[in-house]
Amino acid sequence: MTTSNERPNYPHVAVIDIGKTNAKLVVVDAATGAEIAVRKTANTVLAGPPYPHFDIEALWRFILETLTEFAREPGFDALSITTHGACAALLDESGALALPVLDYEHLYPQDIQSAYAALRPDFAETFSPKLAGGLNVGAQLHYQQTAFSADFARVATILVYPQYWAYRLTGVAANEGTSLGCHTDLWQPFAASYSSLVDRLGIRKQLAPVRSAFDALGAIKPELAGRLGLTRPVPVYCGIHDSNASLLPHLLGFGSPCSVISTGTWVISFGVGAKPDHLDPNRDNLVNVDAYGSPVPTARYMGGREWDILTRDLPSSTSEEEALALRSVLKKGLLLLPSVVEKTGPYPDSKAEWILEPENPAERRVAASLYEAMMTVTCLELIGAAGPVIVEGPFAKNALYLQALHNLTQRDVFASEATTGTAIGAALLTGLELQVPMHAVSGELEGLASYASLWRERADARGASV
CB-based contact 14:69 (threshold 8 Å)? no
Instruction: Find the range with the poorest average confidence among 336-345, 386-395, 400-409, 430-439.
Output: 430-439
The pLDDT, as a whole number, for residue 1 is: 43
Peptide bond into 49 cis (omega under 30): yes
Q: Stretch 66-89: mean pLDDT, rounded?
A: 98
Instruction: Find the range with the poorest average confidence among 203-212, 229-238, 410-419.
Output: 410-419
Residue 261 has pLDDT above 60, yes or no: yes
Adjacent-strand bridge partners of 216: 237
Q: Which domains does the chain have, with CATH numbers?
A: 12-238 (3.30.420.40), 255-465 (3.30.420.40)
Question: What pLDDT, in 10s, does the model give residues 212-247?
Answer: 999 999 999 999 999 999 999 999 999 999 989 989
Q: Give CA–CA dist 143/97, Å, rounded.
A: 16
The pLDDT, as a whole number, for residue 7 is: 64
The pLDDT, as a whole number, for residue 436 is: 84
Residue 458 has pLDDT above 70, yes or no: yes
What is the DSSP code string of 103-139? -TTPPPPHHHHHHHHHHSPPHHHH-----STTSSHHH
The pLDDT, as a whole number, for residue 434 is: 83
**Burial annotation 180-209 (CB, 10 A radius, 16+ → b, else e):** bbbbbbbbbbeeeebbbbbeebebeebbbe
Q: Among residues of the chain, what percentage have pLDDT more than 70?
A: 97
Alpha-helix residue ranges (DSSP H) falling in 255-318: 303-311
Question: What pLDDT, in 10s, does the model give residues 167-186?
Answer: 999 999 999 999 999 999 99
CB atoms within 10 A of CB 279: 22
Mean pLDDT of the chain: 95
> How many distinct helices (H) and strands (E) make up the chain?
16, 24
Q: Band of the pLDDT at 6, cuts 50, 70, 90?
A: low
User: Residues near 33 by Cβ (< 8 Å), separated by ≥ 6?
Assistant: 418, 424, 427, 432, 434, 435, 436, 437
Residue 9 has pLDDT above 90, yes or no: no
Would you give the end-to-end CA distance of the chain in angstroms? 54
Q: Stretch 370-376: mean pLDDT, rounded?
A: 98
Q: Among residues of the chain, what percentage have pLDDT more than 90?
A: 91
CB atoms within 10 A of CB 311: 13
Residue 455 has pLDDT above 80, yes or no: yes
The pLDDT, as a whole number, for residue 466 is: 42
Q: Band of the pLDDT at 437, cuts 50, 70, 90?
A: confident
Q: Stretch 15-32: mean pLDDT, rounded?
A: 95
The pLDDT, as a whole number, for residue 3 is: 44
Question: What pLDDT, in 10s, does the model give residues 55-67?
Answer: 999 999 999 999 9
Predicted TM-score (pTM) of the model is 0.89
Query: In Å, what is the CA distance from 8 to each residue of 12, 77, 166, 176, 249?
Result: 12, 10, 19, 21, 18
Question: What pLDDT, in 10s, does the model give residues 136-152?
Answer: 999 999 999 999 999 99
Residues listed for the chain: 466
